[in-house]
Amino acid sequence: MRALVIDDSRAMRALLGRLLGEIGFAVEEAGNGREGLEHLQSHGAPDVVLVDWNMPEMSGFEFVQAVRANRDYDAVRLIMVTTETEMTRVVKALGAGLDAYVMKPFTKEAVVEQLERIGFGANA
């Protein structure tokens, strides 16, 4: 299984990358939504993308919209991992095609629970 972590914080990418690696994902990284889209185009679609909302150049929300506008990426599961807790934003992101939402700060269990909820098995 492949995962792409998109966050402008190198520390957050490392933390999520380590967590995902521990549960069996090969992890790739991007520093913002634009880099994430370029990564999809050059490396193919991963199984899941964990993306932050607030980033320079292209936000996580804009990334979700762009990915969901391309039928080639229909199978990619999208999880927003963010400090954005306003319910209107959560609803907006889910309406744009987001599969799951994890609030920062998070626990490993919270991330695993969302991965399981969207189909990545009890061992994920």
How far apart CA 24 and CA 81 sit, in angstroms, is: 19
Question: Which fold, 2-117?
Answer: Rossmann fold (3.40.50)
Residue 89's pLDDT is what? 86
How far apart CA 103 and CA 84 sit, in angstroms, is: 7
Residue 86's pLDDT is what? 86
* pTM, rounded to two decimals: 0.94
Closest residue by Cα to residue 82 from 117, 60, 111, 53: 53
How far apart CA 69 and CA 16 sit, in angstroms, is: 26
Mean pLDDT of 33-61: 96
Per residue in 66-122, pLDDT (tens digit) is 999 999 999 999 999 988 888 898 899 899 999 999 999 999 999 999 999 999 965
Give yes or no for residue 49 having a pLDDT over 60: yes
User: Structure tokens of 59?
Assistant: 């936000």
